[in-house]
């Protein structure tokens, strides 16, 4: 066995372990580079680290609105619902609309408290809640016919982000980085940006790697602290840290001789090496003060209402510029069982301007054409009101049976609406779409054939879309 590297042990034991608690920032780079090919071997998977066909997108930014935005209050106007406000659900709807949620049959219909108007050359109708995003409607493809059968937040979120409500499968970001890797050398390939919001707790499967090797899980960035423990400890130089990590690398190589199939250990090793590289680059990427005052104002990062999500959106653009493959932004608090009007005013106030700024910023920099932006939650909200609440205190229940999401950039043909719900907004009556169809389309823009990206798990060839989804080809630009 080769001798250990020369290691400076002039520090005392207490200092060594104190610094270790902050996280030794890297190990085993050469070993991990060799493992890249081993994990992609036919015996374990079919990942090729290159697209199956020419992609139209290089990166994905998933704007996840946790809690369920009301589709009839944001992107799916229903004039008939306004006419029937306060009335019971008509028998004709119950009889003629397939799969209408039984929970909504005995509730009163509730008109949206918000007006809609047409925007852009496409004339797509958008709620008054979203005046900033509406200015970009000609770049947006609106899907008004998403549906599934899970009415609970946690499983619904897992379904939306992983393809299964059980929480036992890899997230979409993990599949993408498994299949394509990431051009980012000094940053994670898959990042989840979170902010402290009220509402259902974030579901870890949404950024976890499931049965894929642990190295493909997402890295969580705190909205204020950035990446925890990525700063170099005081009084340490890059040379000092490199010596330490070379020694740790040598120790881990010895241990890995007996643990070559331990993906958790391999992921831990890579995280240290990545951490070391992030110490050099992450502070600069996360420092938004280098952006112009005009751009910071556009994202709203100095305004109380928009600061948290504005920072996330601006960081997402900076991460895309660095080659990060998949970025998931989570904004919670949309679960408006009561006081829907004030809830959605608050949520849209927090997100509308930052989302619009992100689209404009990406487009101005020539990045929108190669960055797929996805917006939506785990489900929508029913056209009915809950219980006997009146006036502005009224809310809506969960609606997985019919809801809206949208895509922009990355080869998407904007300025169009695909699918439709019935006249009241209960269920799709035109071009029903599933979360698996959405996932297949996301993968397609990245040049990934869902049926060719395979991982062997429990003797089963698993694909990202579970049992398969349909690529929504009419959403894509021709040629």
Q: What is the pLDDT of residues 185-213, one digit of tens each?
A: 788 899 999 865 667 788 999 999 999 99
Per-residue pLDDT at 21 exceeds 90: no
Mean pLDDT of 219-237: 66
Per-residue pLDDT at 352 exceeds 90: yes
Antiparallel, parallel or unpaired: β 455-457 and 460-462: antiparallel
pLDDT value, residue 19: 45
Q: Which of 137, 176, 119, 161 lies closest to 413 in space, CA to CA?
A: 137
Two structure tokens written together for 106: 């005995």
Write down the H helix ranges in 257-306.
Answer: 263-286, 293-299
Mean pLDDT of 300-317: 96
**DSSP structure class, residue 11:** S
Mean pLDDT of 51-55: 96
The span from the CA of 347 to the CA of 355, in Å, is 12
CB 194 within 8 A of CB 62: no
Task: Give the architecture-level CATH label for domain 50-231+294-475.
Answer: 3-Layer(aba) Sandwich (3.40)
- Helix, strand, or coil here: 274? helix
pLDDT value, residue 200: 77
CB 66 within 8 A of CB 328: no
Number of neighbouring beta carbons within 10 Å of residue 450: 24
Two structure tokens written together for 375: 């917006």
CB 418 within 8 A of CB 474: yes
Reported pTM: 0.84
CB 142 within 8 A of CB 431: no
Antiparallel, parallel or unpaired: β 420-421 and 428-430: antiparallel
**DSSP structure class, residue 404:** E
Look at 119-123, 185-189, 445-449 and tell me which has the smallest mean pLDDT: 185-189
């Amino acid at each position: 066995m080769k001798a250990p590297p020369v290691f400076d042990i002039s520090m005392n034991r207490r200092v060594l372990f104190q610094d270790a608690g902050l996280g030794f920032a890297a190990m085993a780079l050469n070993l991990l580079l060799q493992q890249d090919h081993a994990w992609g071997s036919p015996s374990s998977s079919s990942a090729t680290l290159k697209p199956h066909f020419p992609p139209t997108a290089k990166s994905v930014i998933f704007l996840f609105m946790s809690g369920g935005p009301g589709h009839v209050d944001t992107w799916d106007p229903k004039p008939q619902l306004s006419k029937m406000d306060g009335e019971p659900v008509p028998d004709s709807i119950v009889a003629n609309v397939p799969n209408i949620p039984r929970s909504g049959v005995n509730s009163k219909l509730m008109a949206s408290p918000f007006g809609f108007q047409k925007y852009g050359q496409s004339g797509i109708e958008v709620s008054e809640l979203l005046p900033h995003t509406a200015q970009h409607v000609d770049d947006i493809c609106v899907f008004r016919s998403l549906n599934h059968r899970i009415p609970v937040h946690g499983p619904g979120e897992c379904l939306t982000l992983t393809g299964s409500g059980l929480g036992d499968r890899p997230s979409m970001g993990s599949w993408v980085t498994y299949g394509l890797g990431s051009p980012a050398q000094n940053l994670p390939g898959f990042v989840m940006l979170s902010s402290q919001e009220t509402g259902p707790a974030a579901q870890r499967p949404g950024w976890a790697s499931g049965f894929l090797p642990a190295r493909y899980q997402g890295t969580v960035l705190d909205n204020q602290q950035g990446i925890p423990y990525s700063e170099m400890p005081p009084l340490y130089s890059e040379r000092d840290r490199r010596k330490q990590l070379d020694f740790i690398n040598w120790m881990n190589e010895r241990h890995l001789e007996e643990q070559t199939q331990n993906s958790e250990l391999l992921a831990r090793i890579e995280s240290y090496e990545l951490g070391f590289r992030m110490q050099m680059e992450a502070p600069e990427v996360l420092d938004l003060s280098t952006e112009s005052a005009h751009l910071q104002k556009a994202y709203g990062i100095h305004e109380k209402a928009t600061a948290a999500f504005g920072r996330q959106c601006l960081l997402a653009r900076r991460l895309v510029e660095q080659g990060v493959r998949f970025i998931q932004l989570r904004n919670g608090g949309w679960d408006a069982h009561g006081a829907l009007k004030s809830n959605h005013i608050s949520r849209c106030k927090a997100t509308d301007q930052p989302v619009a700024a992100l689209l404009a910023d990406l487009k101005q920099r020539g990045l929108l054409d190669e960055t797929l932006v996805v917006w939506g939650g785990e489900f929508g909200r029913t056209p009915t009101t809950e219980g006997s609440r009146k006036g502005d205190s009224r809310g809506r229940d969960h609606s997985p049976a019919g809801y809206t999401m949208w895509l922009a950039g990355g080869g998407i043909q904007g300025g169009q609406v695909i699918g439709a719900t019935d006249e009241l907004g209960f269920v799709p009556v035109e071009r029903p779409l599933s979360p698996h169809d959405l996932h297949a389309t996301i993968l397609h823009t990245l040049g990934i054939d869902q049926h060719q990206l395979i991982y062997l798990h429990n003797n089963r060839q698993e694909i990202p879309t579970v049992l398969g989804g349909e690529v929504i080809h009419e959403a894509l630009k021709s040629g």
